[in-house]
C-alpha cells in the first residue's frame, strides 16, 4: 500500500458517481462501437449496479447522461415536436444504377465549380447509404440532451428517451468537444438482430400474446422502435447508429471546431466516440467513385446491415460552401443507388411443385417484377407453415426480396391491400401431379407425395438428378428432353434411358437425327462411371455428393453398401441415424434393387474395390473399454490405435462391449466386465488383436 492510499479519503458519492459514469461510458464505447471489450460483461454489470444503487440513494446525483438512463423507462403520451436548428436536408438520388451515375455527378460538380477539362480531379468522400432512419443528436457541453427524427426536415419528433437506449450512441463526449454539437446520422438495425427479433415476435404470437407482430424488414423494425412512446420497449429492440454529418455546431468565432474536410470531421466524430462506417473512404475523381461503387456493390450482401446505395460528398468544406444548395438538396452530395432488393408485386396464383423426393413446395406465381437485378416471376413459400404464417393469398400485394444469389422469397404480404375474398392457402393432401396421397409425417414440415417413381414429377426429377454433371453425367439430357420422354411414357425408370433407340429419340419434338445420335453417344459414355457418382445419382434421400464419396471409400463396392446393416452404415464418416435409415430404406425396396441390377445389366460399370477401409480396419464394429494403467502404452495412445483400426472406445462397460482392456489397478470396470461376461484382455492381447 502506498502512502498516498493511506492518506487519501474515501471519494464522496458525487465523485464516485462521476468515476463510475466515466468508466461505464468508456467500456460501453469499447463494447458497442469498437466491438473490443476490455472487461467481462459481469464486471460491467457490477459497475452498473453500483451506480444504480448510488443514484437510488442520492437522487440528486442523477444526470441525463448517466449510463443508467439507457435502460428505458420513460413513458410518453405523444412525441414532442422539435424544430431543427439547421434543417435536415435530403439528398439528390442518381437514378442511373450503372457506373455512369458517378460520372454524371462528377461532371455536374466540375461544371458548377467552373473547372477546366484538364484541371485536377475533385476529391470526394465515399460513404454507405444506410437503409435506416435519419437522426439528429444534440449535445450541449458534451451531454446528449436531445435526439430528434428528421420529420419534414424542418420539424421532427423528440425521441431522446428511445435513442438513449442505443449502446452505440455516446451520452457524454470527451472534454475537447464544442459547447454545441449536433451529430447527424442513421439509426438502423442489423440483419441478424432483425431476424432474432422476428423470431422472438413469432414465439410471442405463438404463445397467444395480443398486439404483437413481426416486422417486414430491418428499416421498418428500427422505425417502429425509434417512435415508441415507452422506452422500455425500445430498449428491447436492438438498434445501432452510424454518424455521417453535422447539424448545428458552435461557430469558429465562438471557439468551435475548424474542420477543413468532410473526411476530417468524420474522423473527429469517430475520435469522440461515434460509430463511423469503416468503408468510408476518400476518392479522387469519377474513376475512384466508380471503383468505390463497384467494390461496395460486390460486398453488399456480406454487410451485416442493409444499404440501398452509396453516397458521394465533396470532401473540401470550402468547395461545399461554394457549391451550395438547390432548394432542398446540397449540390455537393449525391446518393448513387444499387438495384433494389425488395419490390412490391401481386400474387397471380399459388402453385404446388413436386420435387425429386416427392416434397411438395408451394410457389407463389408473381406478376413479373425487376428485383435484385433480375426479373422474378416465382418465389418459394417453402412449406405450408411458412405460407400460412405469412398468410400469402392469391391476389395479395406482397414484398419480394432477392439478395445476392439467394432464391427470391416473399418477405411479407400486405393484407391491408387485400381486395377480393381470397381464402388462406391450404396444402393439397394429394399430389397435384399424380394424384397419390401426400402425407406430412410427424415432426416434419413438408408434405410428400407417396407416388414414388409412379409420379411423373418425381420421375422427371430423378432422371435429371441421375443425368447431372455431378452424377453420371449424360450430356444433352436436360429439362425439355426429360419432360418429353416422361410425358410420352417412353422412359419409366432409369434403366429405360439406356434402352432408348435412335427412332424413339428422333421421333420427339425438335429432335434432329444428329442430336438423337449425340444423346445416344452421351448415354453410352455415361456407362463408364465411378461408384460415388453412381451412388449419388440414385437420388437416395439425404445422400449428397459428400456422403456418397464417404460411403464408397468406406465400403469399396456397391454390394457391401446394399447389404450393410444400420450399425455398419453408422460407422461411415458423417453418417448419422437419419442418413443410415434412409439408405437402408432405399435398398430394402425390391424395386430399387431391381433398378440397380438393370442399370448394371445395361452396362453401367465402375471400378469396384475391395472394401478397402475395412481391410485396414480390422476392428471395425468392435467396442472397447480401457481401464487401469498399461505397461507400455498411455491410455490415450491405446485409444488412438484402436480407433485407427476402426474400433469404438467407450467410457463404460455394457452388454454391447466386446473387449475390456485391463491394466494395473483396474477397478470397477473390470468387475462389471466379469459380471456381464465381457472378454477381458491385457495390453499384449490388445496389440495382438491389432496385428491380426
Ligand atoms: S447525408 C445534406 N449520408 O439518406 C445531406 N444521408 O435523403 C444529408 N442516408 O434520410 C444526408 N446514409 O437518412 C447522408 N451516408 C449518408 C447516408 C444518408 C443514409 C439517408 C438519410 C436521409 C437520406 C438522404
Write the DSSP assignment of 644-660 as a string of letters: HTT-EEESS--TT--EE
CB atoms within 10 A of CB 675: 9
Least confident of 18-22, 29-33, 569-573: 29-33
Check pocket membership of 130 for ligand 1, CB cut-off 6 A: yes
Look over the chain and give the mean of its residue pLDDT values, rounded to a whole number: 90
What angle separates helix 683-691 from helix 635-644, to the nearest 10 degrees? Answer: 20
CA distance 232 to 71: 7
- Among 129, 313, 549, 669, the one annotated catalytic: 129
Burial annotation 370-407 (CB, 10 A radius, 16+ → b, else e): ebbeeebeebbbbbbebbeebebbeebbbbbbbeeeee
Q: How far does residue 51's CA lie from ligand 1's centre (Å)?
A: 37
Check pocket membership of 432 for ligand 1, CB cut-off 6 A: no
- How many residues are there in the chain? 692
Q: Which atom of ligand 1 is nearest to the CA of 129?
A: 12
Query: Is the confidence at residue 614, as pLDDT, over 70?
Result: no
For the chain, the first-to-last Cα distance in angstroms comes to 70
Q: Which atom of ligand 1 is nearest to the CA of 93?
A: 7
CA distance 311 to 95: 12
Task: Give, using CA atoms, the residue closest to atom 21 of ligand 1.
Answer: 134
Check pocket membership of 127 for ligand 1, CB cut-off 6 A: yes
Least confident of 34-43, 140-149, 157-166, 592-601: 34-43
Q: How far does residue 126's CA lie from ligand 1's centre (Å)?
A: 12
Taken in order 54, 55, 60, 65, the sign of the CA dihedral is positive
Least confident of 32-41, 242-251, 268-277, 382-391: 32-41
Check pocket membership of 89 for ligand 1, CB cut-off 6 A: yes
623-691, CATH topology level: Rossmann fold (3.40.50)
Taken in order 379, 382, 384, 388, the sign of the CA dihedral is negative
CA distance 236 to 70: 11
CA distance 682 to 511: 72
What is the location of CATH 3.30.470.30 in the chain?
93-337
Check pocket membership of 186 for ligand 1, CB cut-off 6 A: yes
The preferred substitution site among 134, 156, 283, 329 for testing ligand 1, maximizing ligand atoms within 8 Å of CB, is 134
Tens-place pLDDT, residues 430-453: 999 989 899 998 888 899 998 877
Q: Which atom of ligand 1 is nearest to the CA of 277?
A: 15
Query: Where is pLDDT greater, at 38 or 139?
Result: 139
Query: Residue 616: its pLDDT value, please?
Result: 63
CB 650 within 8 A of CB 688: no
Q: How far does residue 331's CA lie from ligand 1's centre (Å)?
A: 14
Tens-place pLDDT, residues 661-683: 999 888 889 999 999 999 999 99
Task: Give, using CA atoms, the residue closest to atom 6 of ligand 1.
Answer: 129
Least confident of 12-26, 54-68, 185-199, 559-573: 54-68
Query: Is the confidence at residue 407, as pLDDT, over 90?
Result: no
CB 481 within 8 A of CB 506: no
pLDDT over 70 percentage in the chain: 97
Query: Residue 340: its pLDDT value, please?
Result: 82
Q: Which of 106-110, 232-236, 328-332 has the highest mean pLDDT?
A: 106-110
Instruction: Supply the CATH classification number for the domain 342-417.
Output: 2.40.50.140
For the record, the C-alpha cell of 661 comes out as 482392456
CB 490 within 8 A of CB 500: yes
For residues 567-592, average pLDDT:
90
For the record, the C-alpha cell of 428 comes out as 393439397
CB 332 within 8 A of CB 314: yes
What is the location of CATH 1.10.287.610 in the chain?
11-70
CB 20 within 8 A of CB 47: yes
Query: Residue 194: its pLDDT value, please?
Result: 94
Check pocket membership of 266 for ligand 1, CB cut-off 6 A: no
The preferred substitution site among 188, 244, 247 for testing ligand 1, maximizing ligand atoms within 8 Å of CB, is 244
Query: Is the confidence at residue 556, as pLDDT, over 80?
Result: yes
For residues 129-152, average pLDDT:
95
Q: Which atom of ligand 1 is nearest to the CA of 132?
A: 13
Least confident of 34-43, 300-309, 390-399, 654-663: 34-43
φ/ψ of 185, rounded to 5, equals: -175, -165
Query: Is the confidence at residue 5, as pLDDT, over 50?
Result: no
What is the location of CATH 3.40.50.10190 in the chain?
623-691
Q: How far does residue 90's CA lie from ligand 1's centre (Å)?
A: 7
Query: Residue 72: its pLDDT value, please?
Result: 66
Is residue 129 annotated as a catalytic residue, yes or no?
yes
Query: Residue 403: its pLDDT value, please?
Result: 78
For residues 506-533, average pLDDT:
92
Query: Is the confidence at residue 320, as pLDDT, over 80?
Result: yes
Tens-place pLDDT, residues 243-260: 999 999 999 999 999 999
For residues 509-519, average pLDDT:
89
Check pocket membership of 134 for ligand 1, CB cut-off 6 A: yes
CB 521 within 8 A of CB 474: no
Q: HSE-up of 365 (CA within 13 Å, CB side)?
A: 7
Question: pLDDT band for position 9 (50/70/90)?
Answer: confident
Output the 3-class SS for 284-328.
EHHHHHHHHHHHHHHHHHHCCCCEEEEEEEECEHHHHHHHCECCC
Q: Which atom of ligand 1 is nearest to the CA of 90?
A: 7
Nearest-10 Cα torsion for 213, 219, 224, 228: 140
Q: Which atom of ligand 1 is nearest to the CA of 310?
A: 15
Comparing CA positions, the residue from 329, 292, 297 lying closest to residue 312 is 292
CA distance 599 to 373: 44
Burial annotation 678-691 (CB, 10 A radius, 16+ → b, else e): bebebbeebbebee
CB 451 within 8 A of CB 434: yes
Q: How far does residue 184's CA lie from ligand 1's centre (Å)?
A: 9
What is the location of CATH 2.40.50.140 in the chain?
342-417
The H or E element spanning position 435 is: none
Q: How far does residue 5's CA lie from ligand 1's centre (Å)?
A: 52
φ/ψ of 576, rounded to 5, equals: -105, -175
The radius of gyration of the chain's CA atoms, rounded to the nearest angstrom, is: 35
CA distance 143 to 635: 64
Tens-place pLDDT, residues 619-661: 888 899 999 999 999 888 888 788 777 788 888 899 989 999 9
Check pocket membership of 310 for ligand 1, CB cut-off 6 A: no
Query: Residue 75: its pLDDT value, please?
Result: 67
Q: Which atom of ligand 1 is nearest to the CA of 131?
A: 19
The H or E element spanning position 243 is: strand 240-249
Q: How far does residue 186's CA lie from ligand 1's centre (Å)?
A: 8
- pTM exceeding the 0.85 threshold for the entire prediction: no
93-337, CATH topology level: D-amino Acid Aminotransferase; Chain A, domain 1 (3.30.470)
CA distance 624 to 680: 10
Comparing CA positions, the residue from 672, 687, 692 lying closest to residue 627 is 672
SS3 state at 532: helix
CB atoms within 10 A of CB 552: 25
CATH code 1.10.287.610 for 11-70? yes
Question: pLDDT band for position 87 (50/70/90)?
Answer: very high
Query: Residue 1: its pLDDT value, please?
Result: 42
Task: Classify residue 672 as exposed, middle or buried by CB count within 10 Å of its CB (0-12, 13-18, 19+).
Answer: middle
The preferred substitution site among 89, 91, 240 for testing ligand 1, maximizing ligand atoms within 8 Å of CB, is 91
Question: pLDDT band for position 418 (50/70/90)?
Answer: confident
What is the location of CATH 1.10.150.20 in the chain?
438-606
Q: How far does residue 636's CA lie from ligand 1's centre (Å)?
A: 61
CA distance 242 to 666: 64
Q: How far does residue 310's CA lie from ligand 1's centre (Å)?
A: 10
Check pocket membership of 245 for ligand 1, CB cut-off 6 A: yes
CA distance 687 to 692: 9
Taken in order 524, 528, 532, 535, the sign of the CA dihedral is positive
Q: Superfamily assignment of 438-606 in CATH?
A: 5' to 3' exonuclease, C-terminal subdomain (1.10.150.20)
Check pocket membership of 244 for ligand 1, CB cut-off 6 A: yes
SS3 state at 630: coil
Amino acid at each position: 500500500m502506498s502512502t498516498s492510499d493511506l492518506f487519501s479519503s474515501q471519494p464522496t458519492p458525487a465523485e464516485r458517481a462521476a468515476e463510475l459514469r466515466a468508466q461505464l461510458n468508456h467500456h460501453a464505447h469499447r463494447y458497442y462501437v469498437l466491438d473490443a471489450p476490455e472487461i467481462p460483461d459481469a464486471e460491467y454489470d457490477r459497475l452498473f449496479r453500483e451506480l444504480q444503487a448510488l443514484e437510488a440513494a442520492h437522487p440528486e446525483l442523477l444526470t441525463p447522461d448517466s449510463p443508467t438512463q439507457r435502460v428505458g423507462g420513460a413513458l410518453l403520451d405523444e412525441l414532442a415536436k422539435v424544430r431543427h436548428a439547421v434543417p435536415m436536408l435530403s439528398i439528390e438520388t442518381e437514378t442511373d444504377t450503372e457506373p455512369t451515375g458517378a460520372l454524371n455527378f462528377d461532371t455536374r460538380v466540375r461544371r458548377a465549380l467552373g473547372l477546366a477539362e484538364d484541371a485536377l480531379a475533385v476529391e470526394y468522400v465515399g460513404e454507405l447509404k444506410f437503409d435506416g432512419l435519419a437522426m439528429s443528436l444534440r449535445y450541449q457541453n458534451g451531454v446528449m440532451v436531445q435526439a430528434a427524427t428528421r420529420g419534414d426536415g424542418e420539424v421532427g419528433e423528440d425521441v431522446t428517451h428511445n435513442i438513449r437506449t442505443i449502446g452505440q450512441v455516446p451520452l457524454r463526449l470527451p472534454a475537447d468537444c464544442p459547447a454545441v454539437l449536433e451529430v447527424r446520422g442513421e439509426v438502423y438495425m442489423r440483419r441478424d438482430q432483425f431476424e432474432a427479433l422476428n423470431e422472438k415476435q413469432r414465439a410471442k404470437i405463438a404463445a397467444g400474446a395480443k398486439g404483437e407482430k413481426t416486422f417486414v424488414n430491418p428499416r421498418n423494425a428500427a422505425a417502429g422502435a425509434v417512435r415508441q412512446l415507452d422506452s422500455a420497449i425500445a430498449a428491447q429492440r436492438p438498434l445501432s447508429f452510424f454518424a455521417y454529418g453535422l447539424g448545428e455546431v458552435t461557430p469558429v468565432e465562438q471557439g468551435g471546431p475548424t474542420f477543413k474536410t468532410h473526411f476530417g470531421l468524420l474522423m473527429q466524430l469517430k475520435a469522440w466516440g461515434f460509430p463511423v462506417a469503416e468503408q468510408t473512404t476518400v476518392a479522387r475523381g469519377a474513376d475512384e467513385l466508380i471503383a468505390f461503387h463497384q467494390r461496395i456493390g460486390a460486398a453488399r450482401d456480406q454487410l451485416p446491415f442493409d444499404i440501398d446505395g452509396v453516397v458521394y460528398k465533396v470532401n473540401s468544406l470550402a468547395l461545399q460552401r461554394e457549391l451550395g444548395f438547390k432548394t432542398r438538396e446540397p449540390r455537393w452530395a449525391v446518393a448513387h443507388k444499387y438495384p433494389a432488393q425488395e419490390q412490391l408485386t401481386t400474387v397471380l396464383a399459388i402453385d404446388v411443385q413436386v420435387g425429386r423426393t416427392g416434397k411438395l413446395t408451394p410457389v407463389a406465381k408473381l406478376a413479373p417484377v425487376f428485383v435484385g437485378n433480375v426479373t422474378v416471376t416465382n418465389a418459394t413459400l417453402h412449406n405450408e407453415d411458412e405460407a400460412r404464417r405469412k398468410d400469402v393469398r392469391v391476389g395479395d400485394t406482397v414484398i419480394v426480396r432477392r439478395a445476392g444469389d439467394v432464391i427470391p422469397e416473399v418477405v411479407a404480404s400486405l393484407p391491408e391491400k387485400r381486395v377480393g375474398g381470397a381464402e388462406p392457402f391450404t396444402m393439397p393432401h394429394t399430389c397435384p401431379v399424380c394424384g397419390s396421397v401426400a402425407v406430412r409425417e410427424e415432426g416434419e414440415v413438408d408434405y410428400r407425395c407417396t407416388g414414388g417413381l409412379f409420379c411423373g414429377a418425381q420421375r422427371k426429377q430423378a432422371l435429371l438428378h441421375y443425368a447431372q454433371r455431378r452424377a453420371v453425367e449424360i450430356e444433352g439430357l436436360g429439362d425439355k428432353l426429360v419432360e418429353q420422354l416422361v410425358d410420352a411414357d417412353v422412359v419409366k425408370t432409369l434403366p429405360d434411358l439406356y434402352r432408348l433407340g435412335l427412332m424413339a429419340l428422333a421421333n420427339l419434338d425438335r429432335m434432329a437425327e444428329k442430336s438423337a445420335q449425340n444423346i445416344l453417344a452421351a448415354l453410352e459414355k455415361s456407362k463408364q462411371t465411378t461408384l460415388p457418382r453412381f451412388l449419388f445419382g440414385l437420388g437416395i434421400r439425404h445422400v449428397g455428393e459428400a456422403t456418397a464419396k464417404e460411403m464408397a471409400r468406406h465400403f469399396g463396392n456397391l454390394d457391401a453398401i446394399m447389404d450393410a446393416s444400420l450399425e455398419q452404415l453408422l460407422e461411415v464418416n458423417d453418417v448419422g441415424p437419419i442418413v443410415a435409415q434412409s439408405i437402408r430404406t432405399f435398398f430394402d425396396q425390391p424395386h430399387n434393387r431391381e433398378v440397380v441390377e438393370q442399370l448394371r445389366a445395361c452396362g453401367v460399370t465402375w471400378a469396384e474395390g475391395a472394401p478397402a477401409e475395412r481391410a485396414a480396419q480390422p476392428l471395425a464394429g468392435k467396442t472397447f473399454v480401457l481401464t487401469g494403467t498399461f505397461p507400455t502404452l498411455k491410455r490415450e495412445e491405446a485409444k488412438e490405435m484402436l480407433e485407427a483400426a476402426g474400433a469404438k472406445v467407450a467410457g463404460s462397460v455394457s452388454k454391447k462391449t466386446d473387449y475390456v482392456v485391463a491394466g494395473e489397478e483396474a477397478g470397477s470396470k473390470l468387475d462389471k466386465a466379469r459380471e456381464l461376461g465381457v472378454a477381458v484382455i491385457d495390453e499384449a492381447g490388445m496389440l495382438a488383436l491389432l496385428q491380426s
